[in-house]
């Protein structure tokens, strides 16, 4: 009894908020003690419903590209644009968006469209115009042009030296036409002198924008016309044109070029395989690595420009290849080139951009550390960064992009430039033709 009175006295001395709190706690404890759960009898449920979910409906988060869906860096982001010089701007502004591909063994039409990120809807419309389009053969040359919306404007299949198939976009799909070589091919020599920019000087000499683009790309690994061309340089070009009844038709294909840059003489000639070589038959191309790492890593998300968001169903392109690399994995330059960007981006994280000649650019995203700076020249296989998990990323990885002629392509499938010479069995014939062509161009410059 004394203990109860003592406790009551102590409680009476406590502030009112403390007394209220103790009262509430005591009530809750008493209620929990007195409460007894109602008894029940377990019953076995024999009714079972099976729901079938198709395998195609599953999409593992671990297999998504490492940027959260909907957060892919847009190409129109000014901070993510690739710098270009005056010549690059002129080529982009005036030349059509021409692309070429030589069919290799095992390739299909759909696979080629996938490599270059071309709309499959365009391919199906062309097949409606002429189903024979899908019957492509090894060694056949494909050419296409794109409009401002990256749709296929025209598509050409060089079936043989005699027959060519043409597909042209119309208001109702595509039109189809097969042409037969009926005229005579004649070489036309054009010459000029650089008085301002090479581009404008070549236009003045009679070359059209597409031919200038052919020349610039043929020499992109040997000579930079935008940076190295100088006032007073001289050049001569052979263009092969088709004549019917004495009248030139078609734009003509560049066959050879002789360029004099001070005491530096540059000569290239096109072989029957469509590639350019020097007078000794050496390739002008420099190979690019297929993979930007020393060892192979699992591809966690492949190139897919038509990927759909699994929830919204909207197109959310994945314009690169994601490799599941641990943080700190050395990242290697895919080829010789110049670093044009090495900076931070809110979505891409730390990223590096390397320009390889005039045609190719590579991008490396979400890096842990950058090992190069803008303006630095790098060589194939050189360490340029360490992979990481920076920016808006769901896990450690390397996002790698290959860009060809300002368009992302599938780096794992698209043909890469190979530094292979003219085959041994053809080198004698090629050398004879190339030396004679060089002699004629020298005469053209001296006349």
Q: What is the pLDDT of residues 208-257, one digit of tens each?
A: 888 898 888 888 888 888 888 999 999 999 998 877 776 766 667 899 99
Q: What pLDDT score was predicted for residue 129?
A: 94
In whole numbers, what is the pLDDT of the chain averaged over residues?
81
Is residue 214 within 8 A of residue 254, CB to CB? The reply is yes
Is residue 383 within 8 A of residue 57, CB to CB? The reply is no
Band of pLDDT at residue 170, cut at 50, 70 and 90: very high
What's the CATH number for 103-180?
3.10.450.350
Is residue 357 within 8 A of residue 286, CB to CB? The reply is yes
Band of pLDDT at residue 100, cut at 50, 70 and 90: confident
- Could you give the CA distance from residue 34 to residue 12 in angstroms, rounded to a whole number? 27
- Could you give the CA distance from residue 446 to residue 440 in angstroms, rounded to a whole number? 10
Other CB atoms within 10 Å distance of the CB of residue 262 = 9
CATH superfamily placement of domain 288-409: Glucose Permease (Domain IIA) (2.70.70.10)
Is residue 250 within 8 A of residue 188, CB to CB? The reply is no
184-285+421-446 has the same fold as 103-180: yes
- In the chain, where are the structural domains located? 103-180, 184-285+421-446, 288-409
Residue 421 neighbours by CB under 8 Å, 6+ apart: 277, 281, 282, 283, 427
Distance of CA 355 to the CA centre of its chain: 12
Alpha-carbon dihedral 363, 364, 366, 369, rounded to 10 degrees: -130
Q: What is the pLDDT of residues 60-74, one digit of tens each?
A: 443 444 555 444 455
Residue 9 neighbours by CB under 8 Å, 6+ apart: none
Q: Calculate what percentage of the chain has a pLDDT beyond 70.
A: 78
Residue 93 sits at φ, ψ, to 5 deg, of -75, -40
CATH of 184-285+421-446, one of 3.65.10.10, 2.60.34.30, 2.70.70.10, 3.10.450.350: 3.10.450.350
Q: Which region among 136-150, 192-206, 236-250 has the lowest average model confidence (pLDDT)? A: 236-250
> How large is the average pLDDT for residues 21-41?
54
Q: What pLDDT score was predicted for residue 58?
A: 42
Q: What is the pLDDT of residues 274-296, one digit of tens each?
A: 889 999 999 888 789 999 998 88
- Could you give the CA distance from residue 109 to residue 130 in angstroms, rounded to a whole number? 13
Band of pLDDT at residue 366, cut at 50, 70 and 90: very high
Band of pLDDT at residue 321, cut at 50, 70 and 90: very high
């Amino acid at each position: 009894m004394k203990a109860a009175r003592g406790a009551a006295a102590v409680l009476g001395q406590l502030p009112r908020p403390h007394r209220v709190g103790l009262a509430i706690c005591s009530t809750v404890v008493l209620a929990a003690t007195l409460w007894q759960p109602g008894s029940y009898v377990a019953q076995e449920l024999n009714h079972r419903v099976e729901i079938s979910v198709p395998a195609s409906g599953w999409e593992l988060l671990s297999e998504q590209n490492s940027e959260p869906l909907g957060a892919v860096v847009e190409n129109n982001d000014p901070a993510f644009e690739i710098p270009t010089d005056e010549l690059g701007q002129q080529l982009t502004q005036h030349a059509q968006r021409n692309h070429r591909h030589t069919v290799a063994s095992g390739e299909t039409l759909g696979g080629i469209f996938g490599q270059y990120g071309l709309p499959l809807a365009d391919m199906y419309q062309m097949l409606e115009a002429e189903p024979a389009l899908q019957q492509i053969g090894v060694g056949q040359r494909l050419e296409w042009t794109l409009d401002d919306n990256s749709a296929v404007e025209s598509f050409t299949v060089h079936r043989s030296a005699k027959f060519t198939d043409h597909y042209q976009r119309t208001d109702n799909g595509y039109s189809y036409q097969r042409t037969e070589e009926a005229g005579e091919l004649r070489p036309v020599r054009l010459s000029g002198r650089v008085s301002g920019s090479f581009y404008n000087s070549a236009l003045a000499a009679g070359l059209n924008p597409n031919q200038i683009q052919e020349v610039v790309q043929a020499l992109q690994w040997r000579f930079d016309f935008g940076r190295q061309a100088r006032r007073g340089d001289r050049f001569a070009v052979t263009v092969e044109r088709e004549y019917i009844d004495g009248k030139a038709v078609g734009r003509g294909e560049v066959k050879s070029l002789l360029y004099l840059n001070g005491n530096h003489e540059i000569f290239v000639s096109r072989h029957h395989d469509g590639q350019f070589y020097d007078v000794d038959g050496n390739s002008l191309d420099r190979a690019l690595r297929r993979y930007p790492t020393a060892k192979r890593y699992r591809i966690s998300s492949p190139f897919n420009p038509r990927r759909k968001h699994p929830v919204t169903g909207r197109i959310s392109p994945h314009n690169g290849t994601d490799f599941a690399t641990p943080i700190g994995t050395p990242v290697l330059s895919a080829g010789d080139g110049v670093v044009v960007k090495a900076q931070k981006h809110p979505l891409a994280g730390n990223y590096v951009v390397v320009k390889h000649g005039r045609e190719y650019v590579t991008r490396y995203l979400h890096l842990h550390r950058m090992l190069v700076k803008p303006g630095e020249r790098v060589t194939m296989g050189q360490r340029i960064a360490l992979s990481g998990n920076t920016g808006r990323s769901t896990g450690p990885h390397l996002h790698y992009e290959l860009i060809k002629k300002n368009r992302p392509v599938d780096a794992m499938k698209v043909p890469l430039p190979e530094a292979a010479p003219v085959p041994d069995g053809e080198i004698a014939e090629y050398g004879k033709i190339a030396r004679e062509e060089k002699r004629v161009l020298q005469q053209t410059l001296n006349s």
